[in-house]
Structure 1
């Protein structure tokens, strides 16, 4: 799905530079998500992590059954967890589709924003609805503007057709009712999907940003009176998603209790306490700057340099384009005080074995003396599996070396006054 979307957006951008810029954020977000999942899947396979976890769970089950008291308390635990996850898998396609439809197509997201606003306003006392509209319409307008900033009609139609086509091929027990009820009879599937999407887009005025922002939102009356087939389709999807959410909330409630028991008995089994999940908290993590070997006969040094920027830039890949001043300065060996002596170059990236995860991007990296040495960027591709298993042999995070940041500020941006303010 992500690869298809990016291919569609990249092809559209080749024909229109302004559109290329408009879609750039969506493309990079998709690429980042895709690479994250690909890295996880590769790690699961190469580490044989599923088989390892199954062995661990089998040993845990044996431990539970070997003790009368534990068996009485946790005897059905592993089976209960399996049953619950089988329920999760039973609507996995449906859940994934309902979660992706809005992220994939701007028009569907725009329709959702409008329907949600209408729904919330209708829930207010009749006498308060105008006040609610007046107080909140500005927020809706800004939200819609943000969506239109990365919207293109043809891209949206192509991706929506693919999404509807996916839904029409799901197993019978995971069908999207809103799709099944709308597709016409008497056509082959491709023609059904094409006719359905084209008709929904043809009759919606939401595809016109000027109409939506300047006419639809003009007053409570114009807002309330507007409706179209796309809005109705979104309502059906939203209702279906709400029903699934109720079931997911029920499962999560049960799973939270089961996983609490799972952790408790596993601590007994391993005879040690576990560190609590640090997500959504203020986190401090520590480690060492070090390279690693992600594959046989391959060693990644802990530092990259400006030389590497130039080497990648020479491949012609637009992702590696760089300002020409960088090469001029590098050829002149104009590194100032920012060179790393053992490589006779300015360090650009650095690897370290700290376990960073979502939310750490942009965090400062400090040495043992509390001095800023870099800024965290992301995990290495092979370390995306850290969500499931961390190991010092392959778990690495990537940061930008602060010496490169300061060098670029001084030599490229001519911002020595900033360095002077910082006492550098």
Structure 2
């Protein structure tokens, strides 16, 4: 899935400036005291700021984890380190451990005891604290510096500050830029390297609806997976799996609420949103809509057609390529929706109007006119230059690098360097290391698929990229085979060391640098990826990006000055954020209404045994027919599956907990809705919705479907009704006094 508050914002709230809309904004939790806390309370929050974020005491932040470097979010739901996230976040682990004999993708997996849990192969990080270090950086970045010099200077200061903060080596330290380089914050993490796979439903539940339902509401998907975090005997993190590690005892775990949900219920989401581009200029929107996004959609569709045709022929191929197919498909559909949304909502026009207002504002003040004089011209010039090379840049990666044998050849650069040296020990180590790389490469590789992808992508590159932009080596290759791309693929793939495990291992027994250098797939990787994408285009984009970075930094600085009473949330950047809103229905278009939840009835209505995306497991149908939902049905007897809220999220938030006003888990976020796919660039207040798995459906599948009640027994289950926006909740004393005065006057 997909996408803070600052000191000056805090001051604005304290001064009584109009409040931030609850359904937009990804805020740094360290500033929760300075957010519009009264507004949060009115919506149903019953926690103190310290219960949300605290450095010295346990708080909600201590139950939230970042998966790996930030590809997803998870939450701790028991005092034994049990972690919940999305099925699609754990999909790679499920796929890697699936075989024909134990096909966890098809059948699901449930560890009966700790000893049955499987090492996951990724780490998780808990946020210890965050600090504002803007004052330690910005004063040293003088206005006389070019943007490149400014970036280099900031990086050197950041390196010193990170080293100083991480002297004990106990924590991972990271400083990140906010507001396009106008502010900086330091983050301290505790990282656990031993994470184990505990349980997952079959894909017919965890991925129900597949690509058809992806990004769509109504939704009926049990998108969840369970892992467990392990620590050493002293409850400290270890860097890797060790058999004698113990389940981690967390500082905080989320209680699970299984009571009814109502429209208007408070919802808060913690997580690690990856990236948004809310301050993208009108010029950037124009380039994305007209050039970049359509090309990505086109190329990915061609690859998906090949993947899916071959996956349908063979179960092992399906297992091997399931994760690859899901990865390509997700953003194939995403960019379709985003392009359509940007056009439908006329985002270019809105951005242009904002830029025109900015230019009119600076024209009124000579000092401002001097400081911001190059902002719009740099945007204009930068995107004109970038638009000339963006298609080629996109095709280098989306077409040529997408070919698995080419990306494999690219990864052999280090081996080539070692083989070209006189250091025999270095050679031996490089060869052994690459043998491990090759084993992993060919474990899930299909010669037939990759050969077809090669022919399709090379043809697309030759057809769509202007001839004067194509490297000579590439044009010579096309000419040699007279444009017969299937023949070219047959010839190259029958001889290349990068398309056959047998040939690769034979080569590694007696490796020669010349063998790599002469291989046509290495030559393609070297020419397109290294010489073209990294070197030539890299140099051009570096110069262009200096203009765009300068414009972006000054524009954001300027519009905040221009609108001092508006609270601007910074773009997502894989740091912990909190967003608040409410469970809420919506009207996607004229005469169409969408309720805020779906039920198991919808699963049965969508069932299509002939379509693998809509196959319903026999046991789930049995439970449905018997209405055997246990304690997990709502008060109407319905088995709720998914629900929506107006929280602001993006990719990286997948797996994030949806939390009620008392700090209890009510669901797991996993997607956004089609009508608001433009949200990463322009948030659409009325239409934006987060789609989440209702925690009751998750527990129902674990308990009644999988029979894994021992996992339920670990959790703290709450059956009390969650607080609603209509419920009277405590507010600050001064607000109570104002209300009392108003009542007395009446």
Task: Assess same fold via TM > 0.5.
Answer: yes
Counterpart among 466, 483, 490 of residue 171 in structure 1: 466
Question: Alpha-carbon deviations, 1:80-101, whole Å to 9, x = none?
Answer: 2110111111111110011123
Q: Within 2, Cα distance between the matches of 1:265 and 1:245? A: 29
Shift in alpha-carbon separation, 1:22–1:371, aligned structure 2, 3 A = same
For 1:314 and 1:163, locate their aligned partners in 2 and report how far apart those are by CA, in whole Å: 33
Give 1:261 deviation, angstroms. 0.8
| Matching of residue 236 in structure 1 with residue 524 in structure 2 | no
2:684 is aligned to 391
Q: Distance in 1 between matches of 2:596 and 2:659?
A: 16
Mapped to 1, the partners of 2:383 and 2:364 lie a distance apart of: 25
Per-residue deviation at 1:275? 2.3
> Going by fraction, where is strand more abundant, 1 or 2?
2
Counterpart for residue 206 of structure 1: 498
SS in 1 for 2:693: strand
Which of 281, 287, 295 is matched with 2:575 structurally?
Answer: 281
User: Which runs of no fewer than 5 residues in structure 2 stay unpaired?
Assistant: 1-298, 718-746
**Aligned residue for 1:291?**
585
Name the CA distance, whole Å, in 2 between partners of 1:249 and 1:369.
48
Instruction: Report which stretch shifted further, 75-84 or 17-26.
Output: 17-26
Distance in structure 1 (CA, Å) of the matches to 2:591 and 2:409: 53
2:412 to 98, 107, 114: 114
Mark the CA change 1:310 to 1:88 in structure 2 (over 3 Å): closer, same or farther.
Answer: same
Distance 2:330 2:696 in 1: 26
Query: Is the aligned partner of 1:371 residue 2:669?
Result: no
Does structure 2 conserve the Cα–Cα contact (< 8 Å) formed by 1:90 and 1:174?
no
Residue 136 (structure 1) shift: 5.2
**What SS does structure 1 have at the residue aligned with 2:411?**
helix
SS in structure 2 of the partner of residue 91 of structure 1: helix
Q: CA separation in 1, counterparts of 2:578 and 2:432? A: 39
2:438 matched residue in structure 1 = 144
3-state SS of 1:337 partner: helix
1:418 aligns with 2:711: yes
SS of 1:370's equivalent in the other structure is: coil
**What are the superposed Cα offsets for residues 29-67 of structure 1, whole Å, 9 maximum, x if unpaired?**
121111110110111111011122112212222222232
Match of 2:654 in 1: 361
Tell me the CA shift for residue 226 of structure 1. Answer: 3.0
For 2:402, the equivalent position in structure 1 comes to 104
The residue aligned with 1:251 is: 544
Structure 1 residues 330 and 102, CA, compared in 2 at 3 Å: closer, same or farther?
same
Aligned to 2:479: 184
Displacement of 1:230 in angstroms is: 2.0
Q: Deviations over 1:255-305 (max 9, x none)?
A: 222211111122222334522223221222222111212222222211111
Aligned to 1:58: 356
- Give 2:511's aligned residue: 222
8 Å Cα contact 2:672/2:689 also seen in 1 = yes
Q: Residues 414 and 430 of structure 2 are in contact (CA less than 8 Å); yes or no, is this contact kept in structure 1?
A: no
Distance 1:413 1:257, change over 3 A: same
2:615 matches 1:321: yes
Alpha-carbon shift at residue 398 of structure 1 (Å): 1.1
Query: Does the C-alpha gap of structure 1 residues 255 and 139 become closer, same or farther in structure 2, counting only changes over 3 Å?
Result: farther
Q: Is the 8 A contact 1:167 1:179 kept in 2?
A: no
Establish whether residue 40 from structure 1 lines up as the match of residue 335 from structure 2. Answer: no
Quick check: 1:101–1:108 contact (8 Å CA) kept in 2? no
> Higher mean Cα deviation, 21-30 or 309-318?
309-318
* 1:369-418 superposed Cα distances (whole Å, 9 cap, x missing partner): 11111111122223321111112311111111111111111111111122
1:337-359 CA distances to partner (integer Å, 9 max, x unpaired)? 101124x2121111111111121
How far is the alpha carbon of 1:186 from its aligned partner? 8.9
Q: Secondary structure in 2 aligned to 1:365?
A: strand
Tell me the residue number matched to 1:337.
631
TM-score normalized by the length of structure 1: 0.90
Kept in 1: contact 2:481–2:487 (CA 8 A):
no
Aligned partners of 1:286 and 1:354 also within 8 Å: yes
Structure 1 unaligned residues grouped into runs of 5+: none
What's the Cα RMSD here? 2.3
2:147 corresponds to which residue?
none
**What's 1:16 paired with?**
314
In the aligned structure 2, how far is the partner of 1:322 from the partner of 1:283? 36
CA contact 2:401–2:525 (8 Å) conserved in 1: no
Instruction: Choose between structure 1 and 2 for higher RCO, CA contacts under 8 A separated by at least 6 residues.
Output: 2
Note closer, same or farther for the CA distance 1:223–1:396 as it changes in structure 2 (3 Å cut). Answer: farther
Counterpart contact for 2:378–2:548, Cα < 8 Å: no
User: CA offsets, 1:213-259, max 9 Å, x none?
Assistant: x33334xx525453322222222222222221222233223322221
Distance change in 2, residues 1:356/1:309 (3 Å): same
The structural deviation recorded for 1:142 is: 4.0
One of 601, 606, 614 as aligned partner of 1:307: 601
Where 2:587 maps in the other structure, the secondary structure is: strand
Post-superposition offset of 1:135: 4.5
Measured after TM superposition, the shift of residue 317 of structure 1 is: 2.5
**Alpha-carbon distance in structure 1 between the residues aligned to 2:334 and 2:616:** 25
Supply the distance in 2 between the matched residues of 1:376 and 1:140 (Cα, whole angstroms): 39
